[in-house]
A and B are shown apart, each in its own frame.
Chain A
Amino acid sequence: MKAKRSFSSPSQIVIALGLAKYALKASFRNKASYFFSLIFPLIFVVIFGLLGNSGASIKLGVSDTIDKTNPIYQTIKNLSEQENAPIELIEGSEPDLEKQLSQAKIASIIAPDQSVRPMAGSLTLVSSNSNPQGKAAAESFLSGVISQMNIKASGIVRQPFAFNAKEISGKEYRYIDYALPGQIGFSLLSIATFGIAFPLITLRKTLVLKRMFATTVKPITFVVAQCLSRSFQAMLQAAVLLTVGVLAFHFTLAHGWITFVQMIFLSFLAVLAFLGFGLFIGNVARDEQSLPIALNLFNLPQILLAGVFFPIDGMPKWLQFIGNNLPLAYFNTALRKISVEGIAFVDIWPYILGMIVWGFVAYIAAARVFKTE
């Protein structure tokens, strides 16, 4: 008999953790991997954050032929000079302003009264169908101003009909509050698909996978390690996006840092589910040429229909049904419920269940097509 040396039988859990560490290290060094999953969403967050800050003042064109002593003009002028003015005046020649109006760049134009018998206390509001919202806003603003002036002029001290404006406390809801959760979803989806399918194909092509499975590593151990490293990276990226949103654009966190932690945890669950799809696509795609097509076939419909950029509610009913049931929609909706509405984590279980079902389907499909070379 040969003298048999003993060879160690390592635990697959220890191997998975060790492999995950190196996979993460390698992934952090791969600059290209940040592009879709971090840089892109970050750019969108900044753009949407800046959009939200511009406020919604009415842009009103002022014809240079207008009589500067006109009392209505003077009232509007005074209003426009206040802080947080509801109105912004843009002076110019009438033809120039009309051109801007037809391009919907301004809401309406005020010009001298052009009726047959002009009065000192009146003027003309020029509007266009090119900007119906602007027209409505300008008309309502102007009629409000003129009503106030009429009441003052008629000397009524106690108005028989009036309303009191009362504000309940609440944070201003802005587009960034809608956009940021969508961008986190975009980031997670990218890292879970692009971030795992491309490396898989490369590792297979360069025989690295084959070499790894010539050791005592089991395929499931390798997959767990990859998923762990990607989900960790995804959580970090979600935290970066969220931090930028909170610090730079005052993104709404309903319950402060608790909401922050809940959002990151939900991101972890989501990326685990999405990774099933990345694994599946990475195994069915034949090479690096067909892979981006396959990935975009999966990702694009979700980015367009699952409430990343625009609300699902605005779509036709049948499309809403599809949109609402996409994996990314479950995540986006749940994330907004936590962040903006402040709903308790346990109450979003239907959405988590939806993600688990999708993830389950994806992992089963991935296991059926998994190949080592």
Chain B
Amino acid sequence: MHRHFAYTNLSMENMIEVKNLVKRYGQMTAVDGISFSVKQGEIFGLLGPNGAGKTTTLEIIETLKPATEGSVLVDDFDIHTQAQEIKKRIGIQLQASGFYPNLNLIELLNMFAIMYGVKVDAMAMLKEFNLEDKSMSFFDNMSGGQKQRFSLASTLINTPRVIFLDEPTTGLDPQARINLWDVIRDINKKGVTIVITTHYMDEAEQLCDRLAIMDNGRIIAEDTPEKLISDLLARGFKRHTEVRAATLEDVFLDFTGRNIRES
């Protein structure tokens, strides 16, 4: 199940370079001097408990919030001086974000196309995300999995170089989650760099080529999932219970199947 194929996408070029990034709100320091880089073509995970500073970090890179200190380059453009250039090159899925009300999916995609100044075949995009039956539906009337798939589709309108996904699978059932992983991998296979945040460690392990763990505004670890796990074992870590050959999720999926459910 582990994905090694994506490494073929990788180059040594950095898509994102963050150096000594600081974000303060008055006395509170949300991001405390972090540095990391995301390579072109990889899936990079940003993990950490609530309030660790993940979303703030993403929003600074996305040019939605100004940084207090430090430098960030996205595709070689500077967030301080070239925000418009960066906006043209990135796609964003916000955590629990909605869409303009009373417009159907086709209209929403076309509206986004106008905002980016591009032309899109909205129906073809929906087909790609298995949403062609829902083309005339409103976003609010769809299932959780469909919403997240549409949300993903909307990040690709401007054929971005990098997309940011903030907890894309939160609240989805196991089938929809597995389906969304496939969709994310497909996008990545086309050469799009992906930065993702999640609270699900299995998801990070499944999807991410490399990941950084944040806590209290700092990055406390950064490496491939395999390396982080083997380092932990090397430090003498042992699980309290014996690892069984199957998990409860395997049981669940065995009973209910892997087919995606949509009402």
From residue B77, how far is it (CB to closest CB) to chain A in Å? 10
- Contact A207 B84, CB 8 Å, known A15-B115, A215-B115, A216-B116: no
**Which of A22, A25, A207 contacts B94 (CB under 8 A)?**
A207
- Contact A30 B103, CB 8 Å, known A7-B89, A18-B111, A215-B112: no
From residue A75, how far is it (CB to closest CB) to chain B in Å? 66
Contact A217–B103 (Cβ < 8 Å) = no
- Contact A208 B116, CB 8 Å, known A22-B107, A214-B92, A216-B87: no
- CA–CA, A215 and B156, complex, Å: 12
Contact A214–B98 (Cβ < 8 Å) = no
The answer, yes or no, to whether B252 is at the interface (CB within 8 Å) is no
CB-defined contacts of B42 to chain A, threshold 8 Å: none
- Contact A216 B115, CB 8 Å, known A7-B88, A210-B64: yes
CB-defined contacts of A202 to chain B, threshold 8 Å: 101
Interface residues of A in 205-243 (CB under 8 A from B): 206-208, 210-217
Residues of chain A touching chain B, judged by Cβ–Cβ distance below 8 Å, are 2, 5, 7-11, 14-15, 18-19, 22-23, 25-27, 29-30, 199, 202-203, 206-208, 210-217
From residue B81, how far is it (CB to closest CB) to chain A in Å? 16
Closest to A215 in B: B115
The answer, yes or no, to whether B96 is at the interface (CB within 8 Å) is yes
CB-defined contacts of A10 to chain B, threshold 8 Å: 114-118
Instruction: Indicate the member of B87, B107, B111 with the most A CB atoms within 10 Å.
Output: B111
From residue B209, how far is it (CB to closest CB) to chain A in Å? 19
- CA–CA, A29 and B100, complex, Å: 12
CB-defined contacts of A18 to chain B, threshold 8 Å: 111, 114-115
From residue B159, how far is it (CB to closest CB) to chain A in Å? 8
Contact A15–B114 (Cβ < 8 Å) = yes
Contact A216–B13 (Cβ < 8 Å) = no
Contact A211–B94 (Cβ < 8 Å) = yes
Contact A14–B100 (Cβ < 8 Å) = no
From residue B203, how far is it (CB to closest CB) to chain A in Å? 22
Pick 20 A–B contacts, CB within 8 A, sort by A. Answer: A2-B76, A7-B89, A7-B158, A8-B118, A9-B84, A10-B117, A14-B114, A18-B114, A19-B111, A25-B103, A26-B101, A206-B97, A208-B99, A210-B64, A211-B92, A214-B90, A214-B92, A215-B112, A215-B158, A216-B117
From residue A211, how far is it (CB to closest CB) to chain B in Å? 5
From residue B69, how far is it (CB to closest CB) to chain A in Å? 22
Contact B13–A2 (Cβ < 8 Å) = yes
Contact A212–B64 (Cβ < 8 Å) = no
CB-defined contacts of B89 to chain A, threshold 8 Å: 7
Contact A213–B64 (Cβ < 8 Å) = yes
- Contact A29 B116, CB 8 Å, known A2-B76, A210-B94: no
Contact A211–B114 (Cβ < 8 Å) = no
Q: How many residues of B contact A (CB 8 A)?
A: 35
Contact A214–B62 (Cβ < 8 Å) = yes
- CA–CA, A367 and B76, complex, Å: 33
Contact A9–B97 (Cβ < 8 Å) = no
The answer, yes or no, to whether B102 is at the interface (CB within 8 Å) is yes
- CA–CA, A178 and B76, complex, Å: 65
**Which of B76, B88, B102, B103 contacts A9 (CB under 8 A)?**
B88
CB-defined contacts of B85 to chain A, threshold 8 Å: 7
Contact B97–A8 (Cβ < 8 Å) = no
Contact B100–A30 (Cβ < 8 Å) = no
Contact A211–B97 (Cβ < 8 Å) = yes
CB-defined contacts of A203 to chain B, threshold 8 Å: 100
From residue A259, how far is it (CB to closest CB) to chain B in Å? 35
Closest to A212 in B: B115
- CA–CA, A202 and B99, complex, Å: 10
CB-defined contacts of A212 to chain B, threshold 8 Å: 115
Closest to A18 in B: B114
CB-defined contacts of B63 to chain A, threshold 8 Å: 214
- CA–CA, A25 and B95, complex, Å: 27
- Contact A208 B88, CB 8 Å, known A2-B13, A10-B117: no
Contact A22–B62 (Cβ < 8 Å) = no
Given contacts A14-B117, A207-B95, 8 further A-B contacts (CB under 8 A): A8-B116, A10-B117, A22-B107, A26-B100, A26-B103, A30-B101, A210-B64, A216-B84
Instruction: Indicate the member of B90, B98, B100, B118 with the most A CB atoms within 10 Å.
Output: B100
- CA–CA, A25 and B158, complex, Å: 23
A-B pairs with the 7 shortest C-beta distances?
A10-B117, A206-B98, A18-B114, A26-B102, A7-B88, A207-B97, A29-B102
